[in-house]
Structure 1
């Protein structure tokens, strides 16, 4: 059953509910070479000095960023290794996991180096390393661990005869993919009795809105915008 059908069947509007984080243990997928390893290579290159080292530092700073983009996307079930960098940035922006403006500066710098053969200057390389370091470290910090449970509950002023009073959405990663499992609960002590469940798979428009909402609540950043985005997305289903 699709999520909208599921909610309609239980007469529950997720977009009109109070929402809270419920904790979790969702971590990033391990890659053969980590973003931190590419970042360490970039910093080692920079310390050596000279034109060759600056070129290599720029290349490895971009690799650190792209590797971090891929690690985040793969962790959320996206086949990002097949995508170009703009598409990776677009999807992560939709998930609410990055602000793309600074990352584009480093990617553009690498593209200029490759296609126009312009050597990077010292200040530009320092800036690219700063951006790469900030992005990699902040992404890692968000996943210690990522809050993977969202709890939606009816306001206290709602109809006391409601058959379902709250919904819990848990984020899961399994060999078959990444998805939210959404559970509906009837009134009762603690969580009440579960009366149904459905899944929201990675790539679904509501999946992205839910990840964005979790990230905003975790960071306490642009929460109102994330809630508005969730409400509009839910209305479009």
Structure 2
């Protein structure tokens, strides 16, 4: 099937996706985002005066770690480390891959920046919001961070023009969407 025939097949009203397959890619780090979230939750439960500072720092580590896992998936992690990409630049690239990275992540990062660079103590509600948003981001992107769709199957049983192609399997080479490590 040539490219034009494939496009026509895929655009046909009777063609539907019937399956796909995934490849597992190791994007892990020694400490994972969920662990940092756990540390932040523990920090909030502590009786220390600096619990909000520690919780915010650990929640930010969780965000950074998850962003780096996504960059690993697409082969940009090493470049991001070599060029010292900040969190906003990492998010910008993640958004280009059409992975949910809401603008609110940059907004909440400002809370952390005020603490880190202007030494302003975060308020409890700011830290709790930051932690909730970080947890939601990690939960919503976790399946991307280790699984990569490597083929999609389509079927069209109703259109006689496609009898010889009742089922089409499209393999997606990893090199198409992923850069070198």
Q: Shorter-chain TM-score category?
A: 0.7 to 0.9
Contact 1:58 1:125 survives alignment (8 Å): yes
In the aligned structure 2, how far is the partner of 1:62 from the partner of 1:144?
21
Aligned to 1:12: 6
SS at match of 1:125: helix
TM-score by length of 1: 0.58
Q: Does 1:149 align with 2:151?
A: yes
Residue 100 (structure 1) aligned to one of 95, 99, 102: 102
Give CA deviations for 1:104-161 in whole Å, capped at 9, x if unaligned. 2321211122233221001111111111222223333566855442235678547449
1:66 offset after TM fit, Å?
Answer: 0.9
Aligned to 2:142: 140
1:46 offset after TM fit, Å?
Answer: 1.6
1:42 offset after TM fit, Å?
Answer: 1.5
Give CA deviations for 1:80-104 in whole Å, capped at 9, x if unaligned. 4342212211122222221322322
Greater helix content: 2
Structure 2: gaps (5+ residues): none
Contact 1:45 1:53 survives alignment (8 Å): yes
Compared with structure 1, are the counterparts of its residues 170 and 49 closer, same or farther at alpha carbon in structure 2 (3 Å cutoff)?
A: farther
Structure 1: gaps (5+ residues): 1-5, 172-178, 180-198, 204-237
In the aligned structure 2, how far is the partner of 1:158 from the partner of 1:51?
73
In the aligned structure 2, how far is the partner of 1:121 from the partner of 1:34?
26
1:50 offset after TM fit, Å?
Answer: 4.3
In the aligned structure 2, how far is the partner of 1:168 from the partner of 1:69?
29
Aligned to 1:175: none
Contact 2:105 2:133 survives alignment (8 Å): yes
Compared with structure 1, are the counterparts of its residues 28 and 72 closer, same or farther at alpha carbon in structure 2 (3 Å cutoff)?
A: farther
SS at match of 1:23: strand
TM-score by length of 2: 0.73
Contact 2:155 2:167 survives alignment (8 Å): yes
Contact 2:70 2:145 survives alignment (8 Å): no
Compared with structure 1, are the counterparts of its residues 130 and 151 closer, same or farther at alpha carbon in structure 2 (3 Å cutoff)?
A: same
SS at match of 1:12: helix
1:35 offset after TM fit, Å?
Answer: 1.0
In the aligned structure 1, how far is the partner of 2:145 from the partner of 2:16?
21
In the aligned structure 2, how far is the partner of 1:74 from the partner of 1:147?
15
Q: Compute the RMSD of aligned alpha carbons.
A: 3.3
